[in-house]
Every structure is written in C-alpha cells, then in structure tokens.
Chains A and B, each alone.
Chain A
C-alpha cells in the first residue's frame, strides 16, 4: 500500500523532464526537423549537475537559496496530487490551497534570486512573472472551486478521483470550461506559448528564462528540474479532469494517465507550433479570459 502511494511520486520524479522532451520533439517534427533526442532534458540535467558554479559579485545568499527552496516546495507539492489510479501521498481538507501557495513560495524565491543579480533583464522577467501569476491565481482557484462544487470535495486527491465519465455526462459544459481555464493557467504558469516563448533568444522578450539567466551548474539544474515538476503537476490535474478513467485496475489507470500526459504534451507542442506569442500587453487579457471561463464554470 505504501508503495502504491509513493508510486505517483516516483513516476513524477522520473518522467517529468520527459514531458518537455516530448513537447520539443513535437515542435521539431511539425517544423520538419529531426529535433533533439527525447531524452535531451535528462542529458542537460546530468551535465549541469556535473558543473561548477559561477556567481555574480552582486549576489547574496538569497541567490543561492532560491533554487533550493523552489525545488523543495515543488517536491512537497507533488505529494498532494494523485496520479492514475493511485491517490496522493497526503490528503486533507483544503490541501489544494497549500498546493497553490507552495508554488507561490517557489516563485517568491526565484523572483528574489533574479532581483539579487541587479540585472535589469532579470528584473524585467521577475516583474512579468509576478504580474502574470497574480492574474493566473484567481483563475486557478475559481477552477478548483468549480470542481469542488461539482464533486462536493475540498481536497484535491478525492476531488480528482470523484471526477468520472458520469460527471462528464451530466455536466459536460462546466467541465469543459474548467478544463479550458486550467489549460490557460497551465500555459501561463509553465512559460509556454502564447504567454512566454521558452526557446526565444532575445532577453527582452522572455519571462521565465530571463529570470534565471545568471544561474548555472547545479543551481540551474534544480531550477530546470523544478520547472519540469511544476509542469507535470499542472498536467496531472488537467489529465485527471479530461480523462477520468477509473477502471478499478490501478495499473491500467496509470497507463491511461501516462497516455493522457503524452497527449497533453503533444497538444502543447501543437499549440506552440501553430500560434505566435501574444504581445505582453495582451497576456493579462488572456488570463482575464481564463478567469471568466472559470467563473462561468462555477456559475453553471
């Protein structure tokens, strides 16, 4: 039983970077390129872990603490979400509030680490990050409230388990709207197109990447791994709502869940290939739309 509840955590820790690999591969296939190997994110992490470190003169202990606190909070947040047929390691009423705020804690420290360098590029990225996440937060909470109202649970693991095909059968519009809002939040929080372009090469246009410009070596590995975990975390919630497969056999459910994650990664790649990034001034509007979608879902 203990193994059962640890399994989702192990799967997440092992597969999270793969999701980024799949997205990148999808994009290169659509663009007609070979693309980097699927396992490239793992190679990157491995390489970074074996490097030394270079710190800026201006930085203080905040800069070194940032990546650790952010990774630690994401690791703990993972213990709160279920995967496939397996419930979360820990569940209690109101745990999704903790989940959201653990991610906020990680963001707080990454932003401070960025400001610690004194670079105006990083200040710019930090400023954008806090702006967009402040607007994404209400959308996330309203989506969760919509799901909670539908299922009557206020803990994320039972809540996601309670979503089933029969809920879809009698509340499809509401779930659809929630899903749409969650996907916008997913794209915004994980620095994907149309909010942020993870592959852009101009500092002035970046959000997440420019914040971590000065990190290197093991610190940067922690940040990259944390980003992968964060994406995995949001993706599990979306997949659990979109593909509520509860066959009774946990292994089948887990396989379906993994397939769902794969599809979501491919879908993200398709979205990234088919869209341009929004102008930064228009991003708040997109997040506002997510808030409207989520509140419409609650109202239904």
Chain B
C-alpha cells in the first residue's frame, strides 16, 4: 500500500511542479510528464501483484469530512482496473511530451500537465476508494480534470461546445450516483463500501447505478457526449479517456453489483439489451463518420457494448445457476476491459500521429500514409486487427470468451432463457463483421492507396516519444493474444469477488475456459508460423522470376488521379444505406439539374440519432419550460448572496417547524 501512496504522491508532486514551472517549458515537460510516469510505474507494481493473486491491501486514515473516511482498498477488482489505468497514463504522458510541443508557441502547456497529473491520480483513487464520499469526490475530480483537458484547445468553438456537452452529461450522471450512494448509505448505516450489504430494493439501486455509471461508460443512449468530447481532446488525452476513463463506469457498475446480493436475471437481460444496442449502433455510427478520431470514439461505444454483453451474459449465467456461463461471461468482459484499453489507446495515439503531421483528421483527405509513416501504419494495423476481434490478437480472446459463454448458455438453457444468449452471439457476430468493415475502411483509406491531398502527400513519421508508446501497446496486443490463458487463470479472485460463486466452481470453469483460450493461442502461433512459411516459399519462388512494377489496372482509362480512388464514404455506403433506418444519414446532392451539369456537389452527414431526436428536443423543451426563471439571473453578486441567505433561512425554518 505504501507504494500506492507513493504513486499518488508522485502525481501530486507532478501537478504542483507543473504550476511552479508553468513558464519554463523544459522543466514543465520534465516534471509534468515525470510525475505521471513515475507515479504510474510505481503504482503498477502493487496493482499487478494483486491482480495476479496477491492478497488485498487496505489503508485507512482519519478524515474530517462528515461520513467520509480516507479509506483506500486494493482488491482484485480494483487492481484489474488499476493496471490499464497506470499503463495507459504512463504511455500517454510519454507521448504528450512530444505531441504538446506543437502548441508550445501558442499557449501555456502548464494546465495540460497539471490536469493530466490530477486526472491520473483521481482515476486511481476512484478505483481504490472504499468510501462513498471519497469515491464521489474522486469521481468529480476525474470529471473536472478531464473536462479541462478536453477544452485544452478552447479557442475552437467546436471544442468549447464538446466540453460543455461533456460537463452537462457527466453531472447528470453524477446526480444519479449521488442519489444511489445516499440511498445505499441510508439502507446500511454507513458510507464505507465494506459495510454495504444486500438491501431491499436492489433493483432500484441497479437502475440508478446503470444510469449513473452508464453515462460515464457511454451506454446508448447516454453516450452522446462521448463522440463529442473524445475527439476534441488532445490525442494522448483522448487515448486516456477512451481507453481507461470510461472504464471507471464499468468498474463502478461491477463494484455496485458486489453489494447488491443475489443477481437477478432481468439485470442481465437489461445489460444484454444495452450492450446490443450500444454495440450495433456504435459500430454503425462509426462506419458513417468522416473524422478519424470521431470514428474511434464511436468504437468506444461499441466496445463498451461488448463489455456490457459479457457482463449481461455473466449475470444471466449466475441467475440460471450456470457457473461456466457466468465465469466465461465475466472473464470475457474483464479481459475486454484490458484489451480495449490497449488497442484503443494505440489507435488514438496513432490517429494523433496522423493529425500531428497532416493537421487533418478527415479520412477522405488522407491516403498512402503507410509509405510515409511506416511505424505508425504498422502499429495501427495491429490495433485495427485487434479491435476487429481477429486472431491471433487480444481482441479475439475476449470476444471468444463472451461467445463461448453465450453458446454454452444457449445450449444449456430453455427456449426462454436462451434468448439473451442468442441475441448476444448473433449481435457479436454482426458487430464483428461491421467492425471489420469499419477498420478495413479506416486503415485502407488512411494508409493505403495514394494520398488524396497535399497534406497527406507531405506527411512525415512522428518522433520516437510518439512512436514508442505505440510499439509497447502493439506488443501488448500480440502478447495478450498469445498468452491470454494465464491472464484468464489469474482472474479467479476477481470473479469470485463479483459473482459470489463457490471458488471451486470458478476454478474449474475458469480452467476450462483458459484451456480453450490456450488452444486458440496455439492456433495463433501456428498462424504466424504458417504465414511466415508461405512468405518464405513465395520469396523462393519469385527469386528466379521476373518481378516488375506497373500501374494499377485502370480499365483502359489513361490518366487516373488519386481523387478517383474509392473514399471512406463510398466504401461505407452499402452498409449505411442498408441500415439507414437506424442512422438517418442526410445526403445533399446539388448541381445536377441541367442536362450537362457543370459542377455538382455531394455531402453526406450522419448525426447521432439520439442527440438529434432525443436530447436536443428534450433540452430545448426544458429550456422553454424554465424560461420564466430567467429574470432570477441578473448578474449582480448582491442578488446571489440574497438567494443564498433566503435559501438558508428557508431550510432553517423548515427544520424548526
């Protein structure tokens, strides 16, 4: 525990130093990044130890906050979330040292480093807190620090707008959490997590947790802030937010599940439904995007959906009394938390590399980058294959576990009980296929073919500090893909923590699942070997033959230009038309009136349907309904003080009467 406290102190020191050295660029960079990196590395040690099976640790100190206590506890569940948090934070900080240099001339970098340290510390405290007050304070600090990081480029109007959306959404979410913890505390007589126990009205608590934590995690329809905020932030911050910060929502949900007593089947059904809609809608909206980072942000919605599917299947498994379904479902979901953290951070950092050199995130303006940025391209390819759930990479392993759970559940339950299982497995299959479409599009249009604009033409590879994190993460994707079985085996305490199943059952079923994962990994290794063998054979065969180059087959047309290549929009068009019912893509075609039209334009734009048809009308009507309150807002400080006094008096009178 002392190492963890030391790690938190490093973050604190980093934050303080960022303020002190605000005007000294070099020191600022050294201390700002140093705080995050040292703190993360320091914290990784105990986190990994506990995640791999060491006994939980805790630390309690007196604290002068009503009902609060400075109570930290590192158990298997926290440790499993802490590992990716520290890993990604350290790599993102390293990345930031080079990435932020581009802004050096224009603005002070001190806030970026200050809030990065605060964000890292608050995320760590969120998963470590064992007291509701501490948890909520850390939660709020996390939301605020990330808000300031999102609005780093606040000179842009779109960024301010995104930050505003994010702020509103996260506070609506926090409101639900406040209610949840107050009610839980009232039912149990304490706000310490280890005093929380099964209480009546578990269903209501579950719904509150779903709304509160779901907002942070990005469950459809509470996801609308996510595709706004994540792309607006600097890339290393997008990586942290998408890879680990939204996972604190999953963590919170799982933590609440441990308090609520026996799991009920309808929780699982609900989570499966949410997971399905998040997964399918997330990937479809991603497919329709033109902005690379926005596309990645929608994929976070999709992957959160996959995690929700895993948890949902797991809960149904527990309630059906099917230990294998429960164990494999939860194991798959948890592993996906780790995996998604790795490949999503990798993809966001690579997207940052691209934006850094080309100054655009518009997919249709890029192209041919693989030749210009070979390292970025190679790591992006690994990330793209991993997020599409392809063997032999890590994304496949976690999806495989969720598939196995749902197949097993479909086989061993009755007609009615198998519905969520079948929905999960067919949904996963559809999501997988669509994700493959989306990432062949992203990689193919951005990195392959010929550059579609001047900017892409002159793209240059990023420096070492921006490439190294990508290499580490790509290696991680491959390693978890090949050695996932040992990670799965280490999950026994974690799963027993969440499901309260007998540990012998968990051990047995986990071993079964790990066994299959091991076989999959063997196939992965064989695959690599086989491909290498074929490559060798091919070079041998071609060595004695004539190998020449020519132009691409152009169907006889003599001068094809790069602009005639297939674009991202045209690549995705068959799918977006097939699902136009869900997407509501708006297409504008102008200038085709005359017989010989001179200049024609075509635009397609896909809004978030929930944003457009649910939240915008909702907030507008709230705005209208509360318009009569406007006169209260006069701007004078005196008036506000008066309000406070009146409120206090009213409360006092109410208390007396």
Interface residues of A (CB under 8 A from B): 49, 51-60, 62, 64-65, 68-69, 71-73, 75-76, 90, 92-95, 97-98, 100-102, 104-105, 107-108, 111-112, 115-124, 126-128, 130-131, 133-138, 140-142, 144-145, 148-149, 152-154, 203, 213-214, 217-219, 222, 280, 284, 291, 295, 298-299
Of B391, B425, B566, B573, which contacts A145 at CB under 8 A?
B425
Q: Once the chains bind, are A108 and B388 in contact (CB under 8 Å)?
A: yes
How many residues of chain B get a CB closer than 8 Å to chain A's CBs?
A: 80
Is B389 in contact with chain A by the CB < 8 A criterion? Answer: yes
CB neighbours of B541 from chain A (8 A): 49, 218
Q: How far is the CB of A188 from chain B (nearest CB, A)?
A: 12
B408-450 residues with Cβ-Cβ distance < 8 A to A are: 408, 410-411, 415, 418, 422, 425-430, 432-434, 436-437, 439-441, 443-445, 448-450
CB neighbours of A123 from chain B (8 A): 444, 565-566, 570-571
CB neighbours of A72 from chain B (8 A): 527, 530-531, 533-534
Q: Once the chains bind, are A56 and B552 in contact (CB under 8 Å)?
A: yes
Q: How far is the CB of B533 from chain A (nearest CB, A)?
A: 8
Is B404 in contact with chain A by the CB < 8 A criterion? Answer: yes
Q: Once the chains bind, are B523 and A98 in contact (CB under 8 Å)?
A: yes
Given A71-B534, A134-B437, A291-B426, residue A94 in contact with residue B516 (CB < 8 A): yes
CB neighbours of A92 from chain B (8 A): 515-516, 519
CB neighbours of B207 from chain A (8 A): none
Interface residues of B (CB under 8 A from A): 367-368, 370-371, 381, 385, 388-391, 396, 400, 403-404, 407-408, 410-411, 415, 418, 422, 425-430, 432-434, 436-437, 439-441, 443-445, 448-450, 512, 515-516, 519-520, 523, 526-527, 530-531, 533-535, 538, 541-542, 545-555, 560, 562, 564-566, 570-575, 578
Of B367, B437, B546, B550, which contacts A57 at CB under 8 A?
B550
Q: Which residue of B lies closest to A110 (CB)?
A: B440
Of A133, A144, A203, A222, which contacts B534 at CB under 8 A?
A222
Given A119-B552, A145-B407, residue A219 in contact with residue B519 (CB < 8 A): no
Q: Which residue of B lies closest to A102 (CB)?
A: B391
Q: Once the chains bind, are A53 and B426 in contact (CB under 8 Å)?
A: no
A-B CB pair tally, cutoff 8 Å: 248
Q: How far is the CB of A201 from chain B (nearest CB, A)?
A: 12
The CB with the most chain A CB atoms within 10 A, among B381, B512, B516, is that of: B516
Q: Once the chains bind, are B448 and A118 in contact (CB under 8 Å)?
A: yes
- Can you list the 8 inter-chain pairs with the closest CB atoms, starting with the nearest? A123-B566, A134-B433, A115-B444, A118-B449, A52-B545, A130-B437, A52-B546, A72-B530
Given A52-B542, A112-B448, A123-B571, residue A130 in contact with residue B396 (CB < 8 A): no
Of A136, A149, A219, which contacts B418 at CB under 8 A?
A149
Complex Cα gap A56–B430 (Å): 34
CB neighbours of A94 from chain B (8 A): 400, 403-404, 407, 516, 520
Given A148-B411, A152-B411, A284-B578, residue A58 in contact with residue B437 (CB < 8 A): no
Q: Once the chains bind, are B444 and A60 in contact (CB under 8 Å)?
A: no
Complex Cα gap A299–B426 (Å): 14
8 A-B residue pairs with Cβ-Cβ distance under 8 Å, sorted by A, are: A62-B448, A69-B531, A95-B519, A115-B449, A120-B564, A130-B433, A131-B578, A136-B433
Q: Once the chains bind, are B390 and A56 in contact (CB under 8 Å)?
A: no
Q: How far is the CB of A30 from chain B (nearest CB, A)?
A: 31
Complex Cα gap A144–B545 (Å): 45
Q: Once the chains bind, are B547 and A60 in contact (CB under 8 Å)?
A: no
CB neighbours of B370 from chain A (8 A): 60, 62
Q: Which residue of A lies closest to B439 (CB)?
A: A108
Complex Cα gap A291–B520 (Å): 27
Q: Once the chains bind, are A299 and B553 in contact (CB under 8 Å)?
A: no
Q: Once the chains bind, are B571 and A57 in contact (CB under 8 Å)?
A: no
Complex Cα gap A55–B546 (Å): 11
Complex Cα gap A154–B425 (Å): 13
CB neighbours of B408 from chain A (8 A): 93, 154
